[in-house]
Chain A
Amino acid sequence: MTVAPKREAYDIVVIGAGPAGLAAAATSAEAGLSTLLLDENIGPGGQVFRAIGSTPLTERNQLGADYWAGADLVQALRASNAEVIHRATVWSLDRNLEIAVSIGGASAFVTAQRVIVATGALERPFPIPGWTLPGVMTAGAAQTMLKSSALVPDGRTLIAGQGPLLWLLAAQILRLGGRIDCILDTTERGNYFAALPHAFAFLTSPYFTKGLSMMREVKAKVQVVSGVTELSASGDGQLASVSYVAGGKRETIPSDLLLLHQGVVPNVNLAMSAGVEHRWDELQLCWSPVLDANGDSSVAGIAIAGDGAGIGGASAAVARGRIAARAAVEALAPAAAAKLAPMSALRADLAKAERGRIFLDTLFRPSPQFRIPSGDTIVCRCEEVTARDVLDSVAIGATGPNQLKAYRRTGMGPCQGRLCGLTVTELMAQARGKTPQEIGYYRLRAPVKPITLAELAAVPKSEADVKAVVRG
């Protein structure tokens, strides 16, 4: 499916084929609007439904019913006449709703009446000493390999961190006969009390019973150390051991694989590069776009749906995808919207899916010591910049993440700040006695994923383009 888009202009272009993007594209195509869905991965599903059409794991209870729900979304999309292109990396989106996309090493350009950005989430950086060592990965990485290639941890494996995904991954690994030696739970004890006032909504949400039974399933088979307050990985060119402190006592465990997870945060790069206004979310500790009830952003014509709109989980993402698509249909072809589920029903779905979210966000709010590193701990993995480097730069005048680039190149490597941006903002905010909102974030620009100069040079040029840069 690595072919260029069939047209130059579409009514609606959806970026990302996770739960929100699948739902949005199916909705808009069902209403009869010309719809293009662009996705970077090999197949549909995003992260949560990764490899939904191709996973070698066919025993449905192993991945769980929530995973297989993704198959219905893919089915609905396939039944629609939306055009879908995978392995398509969108590297530019601007205020004119012009999209540049790299497919098979060549770039194509399309325009849209409406764009729905459904670029989802990524795992929050977990900058502990040694987190760049081979053998240290994210829990999501292990889950990706489990779903798409039926790979399970084999050597001495530790999982460290907190949050629902961590327990889901542990359960899936165990069901497949994989190895987990120990789970190091970093949930702050005080969070249990802070979350208590929000417990009622959570107790009546579907997450409660599912979450509880999954934790029981895991705890029956694996040692769990709770109240972990310090964590570090060490080894010479390869992970050899993990040290932690729990209850004031330090332990060191030999280890081959350490899987880290402390929640997910919106993947903001494409939306920010298009100029979409974002605000610091003090509860979720990340940047979230400023959106109205339809998901419309500060840039006319661009809506954001799914976890990129603020973390809400897969069911909320589906509802937000349908809401954003329905709103776009109402704007472009009001008569066609009559075919779709009424907005009130979609909003009710969203409210139901969001039940209990504040409880989860409060309970699993990561501790400062796991978000704001110190000393020699690497902050920027690409440019290998440490916390001390950042603080030294602040001491001699760096005021925010953009100035810091000139001092240290943080965020200027290939990942473009995805793995260091939140850390840099919070570290600089703490050092300067400011809020993250005051410190701000990297100014992101296209191309939001690296493309080669050869690919750029091969882009068709108009006479006006040439005149703009050639003299005489």
Chain B
Amino acid sequence: MFRRSEQDKRPQVQIFVDGAAVAARQGDTVSAALLASGVDARRSTAVSGALRLPYCMMGVCFDCLVTIDGIGNRQGCLVPVAEGMRIEIQKGKREIGK
């Protein structure tokens, strides 16, 4: 859906998406890194289980909700990636304790 411009010379950052290593770039938000990676990053909604990807990328739509380092319902579009960050694609509603 998206690809990186060859102009982008930012250093790589390794994150893990559902356990698999994914190359992101320094300064990416979690959502941008997921969309650039080509992995299936579709979450499913709490209400019907419908599949969704980020819609607005600016913090208002909440379709980018994702579990980051064990904490659920984070807005992936507002969180910058960090080396070793663990991302889980959230299926359904946030689990208690996450």
Contact = CB atoms under 8 A, between A and B. Distances in A.
Nearest to A450: B73
A472 interface: no
Contacts of B59: 40-41
> Among the interface residues B1, B4, B42, which one has the most CB atoms of the partner chain A within 10 A?
B1
B89 to A, nearest CB: 12
A41 B56 contact: no
A51 B80 CA distance: 12
A149 B8 contact: yes
Given A56-B27, A383-B47, A418 B4 contact: no
Interface residues of A, number: 51
B29 interface: yes
Contacts of B53: 134-135, 137
A384 B48 contact: yes
Contact of A237 (B47, B51, B78): B51
A145 B59 CA distance: 13
Contacts of A419: 55-56, 60-61
> Among the interface residues A57, A144, A177, which one has the most CB atoms of the partner chain B within 10 A?
A144
B32 A145 contact: yes
Given A149-B32, A151-B35, A176 B60 contact: no
A176 B5 contact: yes
Nearest to A382: B62
B50 A132 contact: yes
Interface in B45-98: 45, 47-48, 50-63, 65, 73, 77-78, 80
Interface string A290-331: 000000000000000000000000000000000000000000
Given A58-B7, A149-B36, A151-B32, A238 B51 contact: yes
Contacts of A137: 53-57
Given A40-B78, A145-B32, A152-B3, A140 B8 contact: no
Nearest to B53: A134
Contacts of A136: 55
Given A56-B9, A237-B42, A141 B56 contact: yes
B1 A256 contact: yes
Interface residues on B, range: 35 or more
A58 B33 CA distance: 20
- Interface of B: prevailing SS: loop
Contacts of B78: 40-42, 87
A122 B56 contact: yes
A47 B47 contact: no
Nearest to B78: A40
A155 interface: yes
A132 B5 contact: no
A267 B57 contact: no
A415 B27 CA distance: 25
Interface in A175-228: 176-178
B60 A57 contact: no
B40 to A, nearest CB: 9
B8 A414 contact: no
A144 B2 contact: no
Contacts of B54: 137, 141
Contact of A415 (B10, B29, B50, B62): B62
A381 interface: yes
Interface string A384-418: 10000000000000000000000000000111001
A148 interface: yes
Interface in A108-155: 122-123, 132-138, 140-142, 144-145, 148-155
A51 B8 CA distance: 14
Contact of B27 (A148, A177, A238): A148
Interface of B: 1-5, 7-10, 25, 27-29, 32-33, 35-36, 42, 45, 47-48, 50-63, 65, 73, 77-78, 80
Given A150-B7, A257-B2, A419-B56, 18 more contacts: A40-B78, A56-B5, A123-B56, A134-B42, A144-B77, A148-B29, A149-B25, A149-B29, A151-B2, A178-B3, A237-B51, A257-B1, A381-B63, A383-B47, A384-B48, A413-B62, A418-B60, A450-B73
| Top 7 A-B pairs, shortest CB-CB distance | A141-B57, A134-B53, A150-B8, A414-B62, A150-B5, A154-B3, A56-B8
18 contacts: A56-B7, A87-B78, A137-B54, A138-B57, A141-B55, A144-B77, A149-B8, A152-B2, A153-B1, A154-B1, A177-B5, A237-B50, A256-B1, A381-B61, A419-B55, A419-B56, A419-B60, A419-B61
